[in-house]
Structure 1
Amino acid sequence: MLGTVTLIILGYTGFRFAMALGYLPVGVPGGAERREVAVRRVRQQHRLVSRSWLEFTVGGRDRWLPVYFDPKLVTLTQDSAELAGRMVFVEGHRVYPSGRVRNSEPVGRLIDNPVRPDPEALTRTGLGRRLLLDAQSAVVGPFAGLLWVYASGGGWSAFVAATLVAAAAATWLATIRGSDPS
């Protein structure tokens, strides 16, 4: 079972990195030509999930692109971004997509970036805060451990092992989807 979970995690991680690095399409319209578009960063808060999105208009339609968190995004005010095929550059800095472009507004509460950058914003984006945000979904671990012990038997050690694997997988999933600690 542990081997299967490891194989799934490695395969999905490879897929997400290939998409972020531009080897797989993310759906940014316009093909390979480079162009400038007005962009603003919004933070989505939906249940326990917090993600960064870039909102821009292409061809008269609003689009939303989820991106992996970068501290540079916290200080981003309404600016322009350069779309170049499958790559996005904001203020000359490459931002990596964490999913496909959406034509509809993401669910949940969208929080705009301020008009002026907050000088203390970068202090709220450390590794501890990111781990605290991502580890919230690890609460599923004990329930998965109980289910595992009930379904396949085993004792206390099987419960602890299944709980740790489920908690680590839940934390990994929150991280790989592109959480935002700001």
Structure 2
Amino acid sequence: METAADAVAHAVRGVAAANPVVLIDGRSGAGKTSFARLLVARWPQRGRVQLVALDSLYPGWDGLAEGVEYARSSVLVPHARGVVGVWQRWDWARGERAEAHAVDPSLPLIVEGSGLLTPRTALLGDLRVWLDAPEPARRARALARDGDGYRPHWQRWAAQEDAHLAADEPQRHATASFTLL
């Protein structure tokens, strides 16, 4: 994972923008969150980088596509237009949106989450990363991270990821792809 994060950090240096946008997609358990945090720690530019995780935006277990659209309209489009974006965290326990968070368009931005690379979002990312891992490793990581709360939803979420892969061909939109074991 460190080598992949170093490669993306190096690619960030080549982006001709003070506020580049990195989009990270992959199936559940592929390592997106860990990769994004490592990339933040190795960010090659001065100053702060913002990180938005789609796990905070998806509106429940059936909301993969809706969460991606929410990220596009509330975070990515405003950032691209140079205006402050505002998103509200999804409170999974209450089943509703919660506190608001602002995204500063003058700062770099990393957005990570399943379903993120689509034809519409790819246009808004300077670097677009696809992460993959074998299904047993992904499942083990996801269930270790989220425990029994995720177990009954694994297949339900995987079906939405399958639909995303078929409709959006995220690997085709990626500027870099890595398999993490």
- TM bucket normalised to smaller: under 0.3
Higher relative contact order (CA 8 A, sep 6+): 2
Question: If each structure's helix is expressed as a fraction of its own residues, which one has the higher value?
Answer: 2
Question: If each structure's strand is expressed as a fraction of its own residues, which one has the higher value?
Answer: 1
Larger C-alpha radius of gyration, 1 or 2? Answer: 1
TM-score normalized by the length of structure 2: 0.25
TM-score normalized by the length of structure 1: 0.25
